[in-house]
Amino acid sequence: MAAHFFADTAVLTGRTLRHVTRSLDTIITTAITPIAMMLLFVYVLGGAIDTGTVSYVNYMLPGILLITIASGISYTAFRLFADLQGGIFERFQSMPIARSSVLRAHVLTSLAANAISLVVVVGVALLMGFRSSAGVPAWLAVAGLLLLFTLALTWVAVIPGLTAKSVDGANAFAYPLIFLPFISSAFVPTGTMPGPVRAFAEHQPVTSIVNTIRALFTQQPVDSGIWTALAWCAGILVIAYLFAGISYRRRIS
């Protein structure tokens, strides 16, 4: 039974990945927005922001990586919505395959597509002067945290993908996620913010994730911040997974 489930998921993941490779403009579009932001902040606004001895491109890259993910998962919702509208789910239900494999294929495709976008963004950051003294374990920790964050947001994306009434509705949920890093420590130190804004910025998930990635890149102690970041990612993942499961069962029932 388990082998049947994994085989079905692998086949359906191959199908959705082929859709992505046939429309590489989605990955390019996903990467262009954060790259444009990075260029704007580093070369236009960066000189006015005091980040101490850390170069601004090094300081802001963690936040740009999270924006890349938030931008990319909107396409997961779109692909899922398109499959539902095209009747693909109904066709798959008539076939002897594991029902949940359809959903998991979209999730795995999201992880792969976002990983490519992240690599492109890091590559551009290196051209802009990003440098890190982090060793392999630190880079693996960053990759793991980004993967977990992508997985959590992907399951969030599944919910509007299953419940939206229009393409715009399926995509619109991503906008607050894209702008959330702007009210965090991603681009400016939270100490420069007014009281209520600072309180929100310091206690929302993006700040703990950004601070952890920044510490790993600079080989600084991560302290308890990494546990806060992991707790946010795991909490979002569990809640989104549960609601996505409920939405899926209602949709196919």
Cβ-contact 145, 212 below 8 angstroms: yes
Tokens (6 digits) for 242: 């549960």
pLDDT at residue 134, rounded to an integer: 87
Joined together, the tokens standing for residue 233 give: 């990612």
User: What pLDDT, on a 0 to 100 scale, did the predictor assign at position 142?
Assistant: 95
pLDDT in tens, 28-63: 777 788 888 888 888 887 666 766 777 888 999 999
State pLDDT tens for residues 5-20.
Answer: 667 667 667 777 776 6
Other Cβ atoms within 10 Å of 248 Cβ, number: 21
CB 34: neighbour CB atoms within 10 A? 28
Instruction: Give 137-184 pLDDT, tens digit per residue.
Output: 999 999 999 999 999 999 999 898 888 888 777 777 777 888 889 899
pLDDT in tens, 178-208: 888 989 988 888 888 888 999 999 999 999 9
How many C-beta atoms lie closer than 10 Å to residue 188's C-beta? 20
